[in-house]
Amino acid sequence: MNTQWDRATGALDIATLKALFARGDLTPDDLIDAIYDRIAARGDDHVWIHLIDRETSKARARTLMADPAAKELPLYGIPFGIKDNVDLEGVPSTAAVRAWGRMPEASSPLVQTLIDAGGIPIGKQNQDQLGMGVVGVRTDYGIPHCVFDTRYISGGSTSGGGVSVGAGLVSFAVANDAAGSGRVPAALNNIVGYKPTPGLVPRAGLSMAGMVGTENFLTLTMEDSVLLSNLWFRYEPGDPFSKPEAEGFRVSCAPPPASFRFAIPDAASLDTDGDTESARLFRENVERLETLGGSAVEIDMTPYLTAAKMLYDGAFIAQRYANFADRFDGNEDALCPPTREILSWGRKYSARDVFKAQYVMAGYRQQIRQLFRDVELLVTPTTPSTYEIEELLADNIALNAKMGTYTNFVNLLDLPAASIPAGFRSDGIALGTMLIGPSLGDDLVCRVGAALHAAIGIAPGLAGKPEFAEAS
């Protein structure tokens, strides 16, 4: 093996690994060994709910290596993790609820697509229970922490996925995102989280957020997100929320237009929860976008922030309750207290309440359609700030809602979005910037996202951590 690729810290982005494989400097078998060594070195970090044993993964790698045609597969030898509400044949699915675990008889179509493309699954990963939360602490399997500071939350609900990609344990993680589950962990672990327009990818397995959820990937680069998403865009007639436009849909990392307009929150509606460093990082990314040819336009975000609150603080929570009521009713104690409390709220809403909420949301969708006649993108912080685990546990529901300030409305309004690294606060904690496009405007989100990530000029995940002087 080429000693230039470090077994403990070498980059795992797909382009790097494919180049190493092509040159013969690394083999999938050797890579898998290195991956398991890294996982062992981290110890019990609560990333994995079910870790596939090393020899099984190495056997998958050797099977690929024995097939000359496999080398042409787009994910040849690439290791990945899977959120535990997405099925992998022969490995339990729990959605982080121990009492609700079951053994799937087949992999979800998404996971099977990745395996057929040459990917090697490493295991099932921790999450907020049932995908309800964007903080990563609502789980029966221990609390993962931010890769940069063990005191801080990892973000959720795809908590294990965010940490595993940020820590260099896998090349990408299968996620799903209803309220920010694939964007918040990306922001807090210095990686990329692109969430397609709802309906462009079929929904997988236990992801039961209904019409507001979409599968996605946590990746080290926008290029990886584009490659993976292009493998999975498809129209699925059996999925009632699948869009016909998904057939043949593609995104790219082509250079963005020479000029574009983007909206940002005005001073009155920019919420960073008093975190001046968050505000600074957001301003710096706005300036980078302007350098790339963008023109910023300040807007009042109040309508969209109001829509965001409706996801959990209103009749839309009845959708989550409807998804899980058959297992939840009479078995409430299987869930951790915040998940149990939030899901129980769904019982109190009538059909009248739900229809009224839908009419209100339709009005917000119309408003944002009008916005996107004047601008190409809406740009916000991914999260206002972040919190220490102990802070979060002391005020779980309120701080979770705060973390979803900007992410919660995106799926409700039928929009694509991507969280792009924003850099680091002076204490070494990472945050993100979110690019939001009009419905089906995914390509521009990805193109501008790739250019913005390149302009920041820091390596993804742990590799980008700056060396800060210790406080005196």
- The SS3 assignment for 13 reads coil
Q: What percent of the chain has pLDDT over 90?
A: 92
Whether the per-residue pLDDT at 226 is higher than 50: the answer is yes
**Which residues have C-beta within 8 Å of that of residue 313, sequence separation ≥ 6?**
401
| pLDDT digits 0-9 by tens, 7-16 | 999 999 999 9
**Between 276-291 and 442-456, two packed helices, what is the crossing angle to 10 degrees?**
110
CB 222 within 8 A of CB 446: yes
Rounded CA separation 3/10 (Å): 10
Give the predicted TM-score (pTM) of the model: 0.96
Rounded CA separation 86/438 (Å): 27
Rounded CA separation 21/281 (Å): 37
| DSSP per-residue codes, 26-48 | --HHHHHHHHHHHHHHH-S-S-E
Give the pLDDT of residue 1. 40
* Structural domains for the chain: 14-464 (3.90.1300.10)
Give the pLDDT of residue 206. 47
Give the pLDDT of residue 238. 85
Length of the chain: 472
* 377-381 β-sheet, strand order: 48-51, 120-125, 79-83, 172-177, 214-219, 192-195, 417-424, 430-436, 377-381, 260-265, 294-299
Tokens 């939840």 identify what position?
Answer: 328
Tokens 């699915």 identify what position?
Answer: 93
Catalytic residues: 83, 157, 181
Give the pLDDT of residue 204. 62
Mean pLDDT across the stretch 410-435? 98
Q: What are phi and psi of 424, to 5 degrees?
A: -125, 145
| pLDDT digits 0-9 by tens, 20-75 | 999 999 999 999 999 999 999 999 999 999 999 999 999 999 999 999 999 999 99
Give the pLDDT of residue 239. 85
Mean pLDDT across the stretch 76-91? 97
Give the pLDDT of residue 470. 40
Neighbours of 406 (CB within 10 A): 29
Neighbours of 151 (CB within 10 A): 13
Neighbours of 18 (CB within 10 A): 18
CB 120 within 8 A of CB 165: no
Rounded CA separation 124/337 (Å): 23
CB 179 within 8 A of CB 404: yes
Structure tokens at 130: 């049932």
CB 121 within 8 A of CB 88: yes
Beta bridge partners of 172: 80, 219
| pLDDT digits 0-9 by tens, 362-419 | 999 999 999 999 999 999 999 999 999 999 999 999 999 999 999 999 999 999 999 9
Give the pLDDT of residue 202. 87
Mean pLDDT across the stretch 279-296? 99
- The SS3 assignment for 215 reads strand
Mean pLDDT of all residues belonging to the chain: 95
Tell me which amino acid residue 242 is: S
Cα angle 463-469-472, degrees, rounded to a multiple of 5: 145
Query: Quick one: how far is CA 327 from the chain centroid?
Result: 26
| pLDDT digits 0-9 by tens, 315-368 | 999 988 998 999 999 999 999 999 999 999 999 999 999 999 999 999 999 999
| DSSP per-residue codes, 194-213 | EEPPTTSS---TT---GGG-
Start-to-end Cα distance in the chain: 43
Rounded CA separation 109/88 (Å): 10
**Between 337-345 and 317-328, two packed helices, what is the crossing angle to 10 degrees?**
110
Name which residue leads in pLDDT, 211 or 182: 182
